[in-house]
Amino acid sequence: MKSFQSRKKSMPNSKNLPPKKDVPKNSGVPKPSRGPGQILSTLLKEGRLTDKQMSYALRIQSKLETPRTLLDVLKDLQYLTDDQITDVIRSNFTSFRIGDLLVELGHISALQLKTCLDIQAKETPKRKLGEVLVSHNFISEQDLLEILSVQLGIPLVETEFTDIDPKLISAARTRIFIKFMFLPIRKEGNRILVAFADPGDKRAMNEARKLFACSITPAITKKESIVGFVNRFQATTGALTSVAKTELSATEQVNAIILDAISLGVSDIHIEPNTDRLRVRFRQDGILIHYKDLPREIIPPLTSRVKIMCQADIAEKRRHQGGRIEFQSSGQEIDIRVSFYVTVHGEKIVMRLLKRQAHTLSIDDVGIPPRMLAKFKDDALDCPSGVILVTGPTGSGKTTTVYSCINHLNKPDVSIITAEEPVEYMVDGIAQCSIDPKINLTFKETLRHIVRQDPDIVVIGEIRDTFSAQIAVQAALTGHKVLTTFHTEDSIGGLVRLMNMEVDVFLISSTVVCVLAQRLLRRVCPACKMPHKITPAELHLLSYSPKDISNANFQKGFGCDKCAYTGYQGRLAVHETLVLNEPVRDAILEKKTSYQIRNISIESTGLVTLMETGIAVAATLQI
């Protein structure tokens, strides 16, 4: 007997269903149904299941710590088999509603079904329920198709279509296949196996019968698989790609991509050559999302256009390159860092978008909690000298925080000088230098001259190597205040990395005043947020007990059109501030491990970690 947990992509006689998602206990999502649904009601009616067996299974289900569907419990008790369930689904496919079926099988919750039905009712024209469920990420398209395959008793065909008969494809213009979303696979006797994106589409079925003038054996496949095959087929025969066809030139394409990225608040653009297409993705709120695919033919002209824009060598295709674009949009200046990375399919391009801000945030507005902010101001910012490190991963808002500190310190009687690559914020009253290696204006060269400018405060865009670390420490030793950034996970990591950069520990202990670590967390979408009860698994991951968070309220986004069905919209900064005291300085001098330094910091400075800050923010419904 084959298990419902096994998966097969292309078997007409398969009786298997895809594995369902586990619904954790107390997840805030309704638990699996505890009563008979369509399948069980039919089994009871047909006498394949007794009332006594059902009652016993219900009692067992009610006592389970981890919720399971009633069907699973009945299978565990050996009252039912996979074959029986599949037979019932197939013999009653016209009367079984797909939404109720998915709930009973445990793939979605009753609440998710109701949400999608409500959305579907408001749409004009109405989409099919399956499309709504997939677009909201309640179920994957693959799982939905596998269930429909079992319900309808038709095969789910492979996505690559490696065994397609080219003569069948040549029988019609490929636009017909795109318009009606079907694809002929092969002849089987006097019939033709045809894969449909929607086997219930009567217009598509009639069009296929008319086109091939014979009986049709329907199959099911993904819509994107049909489109992808047609594109590949046309590319190999020299035809234009009908789906990805565009009248835009390479120049217009690049401009359109950048303008769309700016309007969406994107931080990075990824342009990635593949075997059959050019994929474009955007990093938005820290997550990569698909933007669009372009035909492979556009790769050379588009790559050359970007190289021209950033003054890279268009003739060089075997080495990695970099460059910079100054782009203007609606009066806004955007500085774009460009990186070309040579791959087997061509040059991958990543563009980082940096807006040149006309004004900086106040230190009070960057999201540091009030008590932590007061300590940071009193014990770090207002100190006359010393190194202040702002640390975090790429794209965590370090530069924004550094400039909020500059804004706080910028006074008529203070001289502030910077070395940055590039200058992201323009600030009146300070001397800003934008590094440009092409004219030998490097970090190393700039840092040699920076302390000769009689500054009170030195801002180093980033500590990249031992030289810049030593300059920062030496500047602090001579009475300057130094602000700089580091790429580390947390505040202790910043200290440890500095200790590993061949800087004497007694200099680190003497000069570093504070390490401020930060992350950007995604906010739960306000339009689709719902209360969320934290699960035992989540508690275990956080090393908390239910008592620790008894008064906390958490929420979760279920996805809507406002957040592109991700459940998140925007980001919020969380911080960890380590102000060094004598016990921490002694630990540095003794070269203790990061674990030991962290424990000493928590005990002696009252360090509140990033994890603790994040949980506090989530518990107060800020994310």
Q: What is the average pLDDT score of the chain? A: 83
Domain match, 208 and 334 both: no
Looking at this protein, which amino acid is placed at residue 176?
Answer: I
Angle between helices 299-309 and 250-263 (to 10 degrees): 70
Is 468 inside any structural domain? yes
Q: Which residue has the tokens 């061949």?
A: 502
- Return the CATH number at 229: 3.30.300.160
Q: What is the pLDDT of residue 89?
A: 82
DSSP, res 464: -
**In which band, very low, low, confident or very high, does the pLDDT at 120 lie, cut at 50, 70 and 90?**
confident
Greater pLDDT, 16 or 165:
165
Q: What are the tens digits of pLDDT across the range 19-50?
A: 555 444 443 444 444 456 888 888 888 888 89
Residues 456-493 have pLDDT tens digits of 999 998 998 898 899 899 999 989 999 999 999 999 99
Is the predicted pLDDT of residue 539 greater than 90, yes or no? no
Highest mean pLDDT range out of 47-51, 92-96, 237-241, 562-566? 47-51
> Is 542 among the domain residues?
no
- Token code pair at residue 235: 């590319």
- Cα 373 to Cα 378: distance, rounded to the nearest angstrom: 9
Judgement on whether residues 260 and 224 belong to the same structural domain of the protein: no
**Same domain, yes or no: 368 and 451:** yes
* 371 and 455 co-located in one domain: yes
Which pLDDT score is estimated for 176? 82
Same domain? 491 vs 407: yes
Say if 342 falls within a structural domain. Answer: yes
Do residue 257 and residue 343 come from a single domain? yes
Residue 528 lies inside a defined structural domain of this protein: no
Q: Any bridge partners for residue 484, and if so which?
A: 389, 460
User: 265: domain range?
Assistant: 250-355
* Residues 78-103, mean pLDDT to the nearest whole number: 82
Phi, psi of 497 (to 5 degrees): -65, -40
615-29-113 Cα angle (round to 5): 140
pLDDT given at position 284:
87
Is residue 439 located within the same domain as residue 506? yes
504 shares a domain with 393: yes
- 184: its two tokens: 């002929």
How many domains are there within the chain?
4
pLDDT of residue 25: 40
Residue in the structure block whose two tokens are 């719902």: 530
Structure-model confidence comparison of residues 18 and 523, the more confident one: 523
Q: In this prediction, what percent of the chain has a pLDDT beyond 70? A: 89
Burial call 557-566: b when 16+ CB within 10 Å, e when fewer? bbbbeebbbb
Q: 51: which DSSP letter?
A: H
CA distance 427 to 23: 52
Examine the domain organization and report whether 208 and 315 are in the same domain: no
Tell me which of 203, 236, 269 is where a domain ends: 236
Cis check: omega of the bond before 273, within 30 degrees of 0: no
The mean pLDDT of 222-232, rounded to a whole number, is 82
Q: Are 244 and 277 in contact (CB under 8 A)?
A: yes
Strand partners for 322? 339
pLDDT in tens, 55-73: 888 888 888 777 788 888 8
Whether the per-residue pLDDT at 104 is higher than 90: the answer is no
The answer to whether position 407 is within a domain reads yes
Confidence of residue 95 (pLDDT cuts 50, 70, 90): confident
Residues 172 and 297 grouped into a single domain: no
What pLDDT does residue 389 have?
96
Do you find a cis peptide bond into 422, omega within 30 degrees of 0?
yes
CATH number of residue 600's parent domain: 3.40.50.300
Last residue of a domain, one of 212, 236, 260: 236
pTM attached to this predicted model: 0.58
Identify whether 620 is part of a domain: no
494 vs 560 pLDDT, higher one? 494
Cα 508 to Cα 130, 444, 512, distances in angstroms: 60, 20, 6
28: left (phi over 0), alpha (psi -120 to 50) or beta: left
The number of helix segments (H) and strand segments (E) in the chain equals 24, 18
Contact in structure between 517 and 611 (CB atoms under 8 Å): no
In the block, tokens 């269930």 appear at 147
Any residues with CB less than 8 A from the CB of 55 and at least 6 apart, and which? Answer: none
**Within a domain: 45:** yes
Q: Is the pLDDT reported for residue 404 higher than 90?
A: yes
378 and 474 belong to one structural domain: yes
**Residue where a domain terminates, one of 323, 355, 387:** 355
* Domain annotation covers residue 446: yes
Co-location of 423 and 515 in the same domain: yes
Which CATH number does the domain housing residue 317 bear? 3.30.450.90
330: left (phi over 0), alpha (psi -120 to 50) or beta: left
Higher pLDDT, 597 or 72: 597
